[in-house]
Structure 1
Amino acid sequence: MGQLKIYGVKDRLNPIKGTLSKVIHSCMVDALEFPRNKKFHRFFPMDKEDFYFGNGRTDAYTIIEISMFEGRTIEAKKQLITLLLERINREVGISLQDLEITIFETPKHNWGIRGLPGDELELDYKVNV
Structure 2
Amino acid sequence: MAQIKVYGLAEKLNPIKVDLSHIIHTSVSEVLQLPPEKRFHRFFPLDKTDFYYPNDRTENYLIIEISIFEGRSKETKKELIHKLIKDINQNLNISVNDIEITIFETPKSNWGIRGFPGDELTLNYKVEV
TM-score range, shorter chain: over 0.9
Alignment partner, residue 6 of structure 1: 6
User: Residue 46 of structure 1 aligns to which amino acid in structure 2?
Assistant: L
Shift of 1:55: 1.3
Alignment-derived partner of residue 34 in structure 1 = 34
TM-score (norm 1): 0.99
3-state SS of 2:89 partner = helix
Q: Can you give the 5+ residue segments of structure 1 that lack an aligned partner in the other structure?
A: none
1:123 equivalent in structure 2: 123
Which residue of structure 1 lines up, in the alignment, with residue 101 of structure 2? 101
**Structure-2 residue corresponding to 1:15:** 15
TM normalised by structure 2 equals: 0.99
Equivalent residue number for residue 86 of structure 2: 86
Quote the offset at 1:94 in angstroms. Answer: 1.0
Separation of aligned partners in 1, 2:68 and 2:32 = 11
Give the equivalent residue in structure 1 for 2:48. Answer: 48
Aligned equivalents of 1:55 and 1:31: distance in 2? 32
Secondary structure of the equivalent of 2:66?
strand
The reply on whether 1:74 has 2:77 as its aligned counterpart is no
Give distance in 2, aligned partners of 1:35 and 1:78. 20
Take 2:73 and 2:104, find their aligned partners in 1: how far apart are those partners?
A: 13
Q: How many percent of aligned residue pairs carry the same amino acid?
A: 60
**Consecutive unaligned residues in structure 2, runs of 5 or more:** none
Task: Tell me the SS of whatever aligns to 1:124.
Answer: coil
Displacement of 1:118 after TM fit? 0.2
Alpha-carbon distance in structure 2 between the residues aligned to 1:115 and 1:42: 21
Letter in 2 for 1:27: S
CA offsets per residue over residues 13-34 of structure 1, 9 Å max, x none? 0000000000011110111111
**How big is the shift at 1:49?**
1.3
One-letter code aligned to 1:35 = P
Q: Which residue of 2 aligns with 1:58?
A: 58
In the aligned structure 1, how far is the partner of 2:15 from the partner of 2:68?
27
The Cα of 1:128 is off from its aligned counterpart by 0.2
Structure 1 runs, 4 residues or longer, greater than 2 Å off? none
For 1:44 and 1:94, how far apart are their aligned partners in 2?
Answer: 18
CA distance in 1: counterparts of 2:35 and 2:77, whole angstroms? 16
Q: In structure 2, how many angstroms separate the alpha carbons of the residues matched to 1:5 and 1:81? A: 15
